[in-house]
Structure 1
């Protein structure tokens, strides 16, 4: 499918209930950054816009655990997550706090306007549902407050989506529902909330098939369409969230990923001076949603249902990039369970660099489903990259300083980079295949000369940006590695740059990372 010249990528908003772990870094946000860099290298105008999910009940749970207000919890973790992403070399064009003064009113208004629009078109309907409440405290047991077993796979879960199988469910479907924080016995009450259902469920499935969504990620969507025809929630129980005068006390507008993305589109429109939101029909912008497989309903179903119900005022994502869940040492990385390695601790407390961590995470094939990374495999990838930089890259850059002949046209490098970038489109990307293409280039039989270095820079650009920029600068080329620039450059005389390659740290011992590993609270 065709990609417009202008592209907006919206990775799913992380919840500010803690800092980012390697599951976050290696999944959605790394994919957004890699795809954006590959598209920019081909001349596209690309923006990556997201922010934190401040109205998620997990924030309240974190505040309860940390002994402070939800507002303070949001502010602290919102800022910390931004630092984590920057530390991993994930480049964002806007980082939005929907509860902050700049965005609060406009964010609430957009959600209310869309809900009113769906009511007007008849797409939104009030429906009865059974909701569990804590008998002792009166708390609605939804989101982080409810635990049980998934009605589809039987694994422990809570909220409305199973992190193991990716299935969506309503509270009354949860098996053996119980309070997660010991609120006492559960009682069920009938409540009325707003829902919308797909006008044409078959068209949703067909659209995602045509866009190249892999079967492993399409399957939960197909099951949801078959089970309930594409029914999605528009309002729910809660006191922390997007309040509306049109809803009774104790209810909030659902703070879903798609309308968050539409708001990101509005921020992007205002910053660029565009005439319409990228999610408006005919905007001329390719919109890309990126999220983990545990968010199949918010990411794959809700955008189409709301777009259909809006009757031509909104369009769903043009492309969706879904990644499987990253497991660490056999269990899914989890903020609430404190399982994984946290980016800030790893990158600030050890010798591991952003490029090295990205290199290790890129080898986990999350574009094809769940994958596991161990402390040993992480260490092995870091050491492999360090060894190559010391034994191959540094000597090649040293020889470059001694050459006086021009850098030749790098036809083989251009061909290899073009093939790699084809793996990094928003339609069925494969980051592991892309890093394997990089590995093949740096470990192949080609002579480690100036032409080879052009290929190193071009193939590294989406994946290992610090390395790519370093090599490109040593070649004497301006700016960032750029496929179009390399295609049209006449052979340039080397500028004999001073200095040598940055010396990587010595071999990494897994024991050095052990203090930063968290393995706790597994059910």
Structure 2
């Protein structure tokens, strides 16, 4: 049987961990376009190539913004966490983002084990002498029994001066202490405030040079590296481990008169370790993938607002622990906007994953392909409604669907002949190129669509008879699978294969279901078709 000459079968193991979303709303296309779609495409590409790839993550129910959502809605925090966790699951599922586990840490199946794991790992760091208490000053509302920190504090960033809140600036990406904010105010209003002097637990990074070298090995982009180095310049070698509050995983501080919980942003690394434990259990692995001797490649993805938690805190915690490895590869991205305005759960300026699929004729493949093409990994991206409609109608409805239909109708049910050497070589080259784009550290999600586009262009220029049509369709299934798994799997199965497209089975001759009509994978759409999924914020005079 023929085989690819240069395409090597993958034999690696991957644990993929996208950032843990806060369950204060669903997942909109701004969320989905970054960490979640990225990890799913990476996983499918590696499986297609013969490697193993598993995805584990969960919601971050202990994030302080859950208190704000509770105050705004009048609902209990736990109720909100559970409701929005399931809503986020539906958004992930709508875009065909597959995962091994998407856990809710408040679920009884995980709750106690989750808290115990976090406190145990934190205790190990304390015992190793790599932490230290630092003085901290907070504003406090006795009337509300509330510290003006986390979701309750607003002000201006001490680094760039932009309006900000909580512990991180979305404009410059830095992390700061509440006491450093310029002109701090209490989100609940003009209530009497007092000042409290206390202390918080911090990690002390002694291996800064090793940390920066690890980031360089991962080929982290210059803008994200600048955020990390700026943090060291402004905050030194300290990384927050605790913050004041009652909602979260409690941590007792000596000589402190206030309640403390583990800081959820720094704890994202602890959460990753916990996902490693879940991986170990499910796949009967000898050790956690983050153990020093583990042979699993770990990858995390996140937005620019989590740069410090991953690049500084996560890598720093691993290096200082001496027990665990840092995450092997970090894949950050910039923000994704909607009509040039930031997606926003609080403003309702969002298109939710479940809505765009279940309230409109748009397929998950169409939205995935568009989001890959517009992906904000190197710069901010924007979802423009008119551009999306043209993309679906022109590139998918007119070009791609017509090529697929023309190739399918050329099949005649006769035994398949061999593929031409030129077509086989071209496909192999495009698969090698796409695999390179979808393998860290050279991961480039946006560029991964280029080999697929070229293969579609080749199909557009072919005068199909049965044999080239068969081999072109199978090649399309392989190249499309990471990006558009729905139509790729459907075609692969109609062409006589079982399961998902894999490179090693490409040259196997298969019985084609020629009596089956090819589905209409990509329907043309209008503004009225997608209007049910669009937010009210878009209905200005421009759209009426």
Q: How does 1:324-335 map to 2 (within 5 A)?
A: 324-335=334-345
Residue 488 of structure 2 corresponds to 468
Between stretches 40-49 and 403-412, larger displacement belongs to 403-412
Give the Cα–Cα distance (whole angstroms) in 1 for the partners of residues 324 and 401 of structure 2: 52
What do the CA deviations read for 1:327-347 (whole angstroms, capped 9, x no partner)?
111122122232221112221
Q: How does 1:375-414 map to 2 (within 5 A)?
A: 375-383=385-393, 384-401=395-412, 404-406=415-417, 408=419, 410-414=424-428
Deviations 1:160-208 (A, max 9, x none): 1122221211112222211223252554322211001211212211111
Which of 500, 503, 512 is residue 495 of structure 1 equivalent to?
Answer: 512
CA change 1:221–1:4 in 2 (3 A) is: farther
What residue number does 2:433 align with? 419
For residues 515 and 175 of structure 1, the distance between their equivalents in structure 2, rounded to whole angstroms, comes to 41
Could you tell me how far apart the structure 2 residues matched to 1:477 and 1:206 are? 45
Who is 2:347 aligned against? 337
1:126 matched to 2:133? The reply is yes
- Say if 1:514 and 1:464 are closer, same or farther in 2 by CA, change over 3 A: same
Q: Deviations over 1:66-121 (max 9, x none)?
A: 22111111111111111211111000101111121111111111111122111111
Q: 1:9 to 1:350 in 2, by over 3 A?
A: same
Deviation at 1:124, TM superposition (A): 0.9
* TM-score (ref. length: structure 1): 0.93
Shift of 1:404: 4.2
Cα pair 2:156 2:181 within 8 Å, conserved? yes
Distance 1:419 1:446 in 2: 21
Farther-moved stretch of structure 1 (164-173 vs 132-141): 132-141
Native 8 Å contact 2:138 2:148 kept in 1: yes
The answer to whether the 8 A contact 1:401-1:496 is kept is no
Shift of 1:226: 2.6
Residue 282 of structure 2: which of 271, 281, 288 is its match?
A: 271
Please give the per-residue CA displacement for 1:344-373, whole angstroms capped at 9, x wherever unaligned. 222111111111111111111312022222
Give the one of 475, 492, 499 matched to 1:455: 475
Say if 2:200 and 2:243, in contact at 8 Å, map to a contact too.
yes
User: Does the 8 A contact of 2:45 with 2:481 survive in 1?
Assistant: yes
The aligned residue for residue 260 of structure 2 is 251
- Once the two structures are overlaid, the 10-residue window that deviates more, 429-438 or 512-521, is 512-521
* Equivalent residues of 1:160, 1:169 under 8 A apart: yes
1:374 Cα deviation after fit: 1.3
Superposed CA RMSD? 2.1
Alpha-carbon distance in structure 2 between the residues aligned to 1:138 and 1:423: 51
- Is it true that 1:443 corresponds to 2:457 in the alignment? yes
Query: How is 1:51-450 mapped onto 2 (pairs within 5 angstroms)?
Result: 51-134=58-141, 136-182=143-189, 184-244=191-251, 249-255=258-264, 256-310=267-321, 312-383=322-393, 384-401=395-412, 404-406=415-417, 408=419, 410-444=424-458, 446-447=461-462, 449-450=469-470
Counterpart residue number, 2:40: 33
Would the alpha carbon gap of residues 435 and 185 (structure 1) be closer, same or farther in structure 2, given more than 3 Å must change?
farther
**C-alpha contact 2:23 2:85 (8 A) present in aligned 1:** yes
Change (3 A) 1:338 1:144: farther
Moved more, 415-424 or 378-387: 378-387
Question: What is the CA distance between 1:301 and its match in structure 2?
Answer: 0.9
Q: 1:473 to 1:251 in 2, by over 3 A?
A: same
1:175–1:516 Cα change, 3 Å: farther
How far did 1:236 drift?
Answer: 0.8
Q: Is 2:176–2:235's contact at 8 Å kept on the other side of the alignment?
A: no
Q: Does structure 2 conserve the Cα–Cα contact (< 8 Å) formed by 1:367 and 1:429?
A: no
**For residue 5 of structure 2, what is the aligned residue in structure 1?**
none
Aligned to 2:337, the other structure's residue is in SS state strand
1:518 matched residue in structure 2 = 535
Distance 1:185 1:328 in 2: 39
Deviations 1:386-431 (A, max 9, x none): 2224322112112124554335273321221121111011324111
Q: Report the Cα distance in structure 2 between the residues aligned to 1:230 and 1:481, rounded to whole angstroms.
A: 47
In structure 2, do the counterparts of structure 1 residues 457 and 121 end up closer, same or farther at CA, with 3 Å as the change threshold? same
- Aligned residues of 1:35 and 1:426 also touching (Cα < 8 A): no
Structure 1 residues 283 and 369, CA, compared in 2 at 3 Å: closer, same or farther? same
Of residues 176-185 and 55-64 in structure 1, the stretch that sits farther from structure 2 once superposed is: 176-185
- Cα distance in structure 2, aligned partners of 1:176 and 1:377: 41
Cα deviation per residue 1:205-230 (whole Å; 9 max; x = unaligned)? 11111111121222211211232234
Q: In the alignment, which residue of structure 2 is the partner of 1:12?
A: 19
State which drifts further: 463-472 or 449-458: 449-458
Name stretches of at least 5 consecutive residues in structure 1 with no aligned partner.
none
Residue 3 (structure 2) aligns with: none
Contact 2:289 2:295 survives alignment (8 Å): yes
Q: Work out whether residues 193 and 235 of structure 1, in 8 Å CA contact, stay in contact via their aligned partners in 2.
A: yes
Residues 413 and 454, structure 1, Cα contact 8 Å, conserved in 2:
no
Q: Distance in 2 between matches of 1:83 and 1:17?
A: 14
In 2, are the aligned partners of 1:238 and 1:252 still within 8 Å (CA)? yes
Contact 2:130 2:203 in 1 (8 A): yes
Q: Which moved more, 1:126-135 or 1:270-279?
A: 126-135
Q: Relative to 1, partners in 2 of residues 1:155 and 1:35: Cα closer, same or farther, differing over 3 Å?
A: same
Q: Is contact 2:400–2:456 with CA below 8 Å preserved after alignment?
A: no
Give yes or no for contact 1:137–1:183 (8 Å, CA) kept in 2: no
